[in-house]
Every structure is written in structure tokens, then in C-alpha cells.
Amino acid sequence: MLSHDDITRLAAELAEADRTHGVIPRITVRHPEATVDDSYAIQGVWRDAQIAAGRRLVGRKIGLTSKAMQQATGITEPDYGVMFDDTVYESGAEIPVDHFSNVRIEVELAFVLKRPLEGPDCALDDALAAIDYAVPALEVLNSHIELEGRTIVDTISDNAAYGAMVLGSERRRPDEIDLRWVPGVLSRNGEIEETGVAAGVLGHPATGVAWLANKFHQHGARLDAGEIILAGSFTRPMWVSRGDEVLCDYGPMGTITCRFV
């Protein structure tokens, strides 16, 4: 376990890396004794400092929920982070690439809750009953810790590598569409790079919402009405650079476009 001073110092390092769009050495190289609990503590100190500075929390991201992402990262358990209001873009947005480090895109669905969701025994049906609607989303990854050799401790400490999300305009209630079979066809500059279906996320994309509610219960917390839950990618991450035009086709749930400038 890390000391309180170590946790505070590492959270400050990550905050400075976020401010300068830089990258720091892996935490697990400097502190091989660090645990997953330590990594959430680091993330929590960073989160609280961001809220104290005036940022508004709007939801949570879940990561590493599909085999595609687990194979891409070498990490085999889900993780989660927080999302602030100034990280949410609409389809068609121009996104400043210099605001992020190690910029990649993932294909996901996001869920907006109409009522609170609480563990410890939350199941898929409970999550579906608490969801107001699903909306297609792209996640912009933003990694402030060097990628080579990183572990889940590094990733969680770095707010689960969340940078931003781009939301589509098509909203569907869970009873309107079989969310398992929503497709994602991701293109960069007119060339298809990644494809997948939402069932790749734990068999059903809303399963991660139930997982997160149960995880929060372990810390005496719950998911609240109105929160946006980014449920995890069902494709591998796609690298993007300045000038790239991105389009993702979600079939019956429409398309998302964005451009990196």
C-alpha cells in the first residue's frame, strides 16, 4: 500500500501532466508495491481537486469490458473513471488534438440513468430498468502515463485513460432496440479501420452498468439519476492525429463524426 503522501504526490503529477498534455513514467516502475486500491485512491485525490477547481462531474466511464480491449491492453479486468462536463462533445465537433496525449478513439454506447442504481446485487435487468436511454458514443483516450508495460494500476490512476466523449443524436430506450446487436463501423479519413457489435461488451453493453453499481456499493456509493455511463468499447482503439476525419456508423442508431484539429 502507498502512503498518503505518495498518493497525493502522484495525483499532483497526473494533474500537471493533464495541464501540460504530458506523460509521466509508469507508477508501477517507481512503486511496484502499488495496488488497485492505491490506484483508485490516486484517481480520487485527482478527481476531488478537479471538482474543487470548479469542474462538474457528469458521469462515469467503464473500460476494459470487452475481449478486444483486454487483448489490446493486456489488462483483463474492467476499470472505471470520471467524466466532467467540459469533456463532452456533440457529433460534428472539431476536437483540439493538443488537448490530449496518446490520442486514440474507441466505439461505445453511453447510457443516461433515469433513477439511482445501487448494489450490491445489481443485475442486468436492474440496470436496464434504471436506464432512461442509450446513445452512441466515441471515447477519446488520453493517457498521461507511458504506455509500454503499463498495468491496470497505472491505467486506473490516470482516470482510466479517459479524455473526452463525442455523443450522437439518436436516443433509444432499452425496450426499443436489442442493444446487443448495435454495430460499430469506425472509419478514419474514409477508410474502415475497426468493426464490432455491442454484445462484445460483457455479452450486453448494459452489463457494465450493473457491474459499476456493484463496485460502487463496496465503497458506500451509488450511481445517481442523470449520470452518463460510458459502457466500454467493443472495438480496439484507433490512433488519430491532427487533421483526421473520424466517422462511426452505428446502423439503426445513426452516425457520429468528428475532426481532430
Look at residue 165 and tell me whether its pLDDT is greater than 90: yes
For 231-257, what is the mean pLDDT? 97
Q: Which of 130, 241, 118, 256 is nearest to 183 (CA)?
A: 256
Q: Kindly report the CATH number that applies to the domain delimited by 57-260.
A: 3.90.850.10
* Domain residue ranges of the chain, discontinuous segments joined by +: 57-260
Instruction: Count CB-CB contacts under 10 A for residue 239.
Output: 12
> What is the per-residue pLDDT for 46?
98
State the chain's mean pLDDT as an integer. Answer: 94
Look at residue 75 and tell me whether its pLDDT is greater than 70: no
For 214-231, what is the mean pLDDT? 93
> What is the per-residue pLDDT for 74?
65
Look at residue 53 and tell me whether its pLDDT is greater than 90: yes
**Contact indicator for 131, 114 with CB cutoff of 8 Å:** yes
**Which cell numbers hold the place of 46?**
485527482
Angstrom distance (rounded) from CA 203 to CA 4: 38
φ, ψ at 160 (rounded to 5°) = 55, 30
> What is the per-residue pLDDT for 145?
96
End-to-end CA distance of the chain: 41
Pairing relation of β-strands 131-141 and 228-230? Answer: unpaired
**Which cell numbers hold the place of 259?**
475532426
Question: Which is more confident, 91 or 218?
Answer: 91
**Which cell numbers hold the place of 137?**
458514443
Angle formed at CA 92 by CA 86 and CA 97, multiple of 5 degrees = 55
Angstrom distance (rounded) from CA 153 to CA 178: 34
Where residue 99 falls among pLDDT bands split at 50, 70, 90?
Answer: very high
Angstrom distance (rounded) from CA 108 to CA 61: 10
Across-strand partners of 230?
A: 61, 110
Q: Which residues of 110-140 are buried (b: 16+ CB within 10 A; e: fewer)?
A: bbbbeeebbbeebebebbbebbeebbbbbbb
Angstrom distance (rounded) from CA 103 to CA 212: 25
Angstrom distance (rounded) from CA 162 to CA 156: 10
Angstrom distance (rounded) from CA 236 to CA 226: 28
For 227-244, what is the mean pLDDT? 96
φ, ψ at 4 (rounded to 5°) = -60, -40
φ, ψ at 120 (rounded to 5°) = -95, -5
For 143-165, what is the mean pLDDT? 94
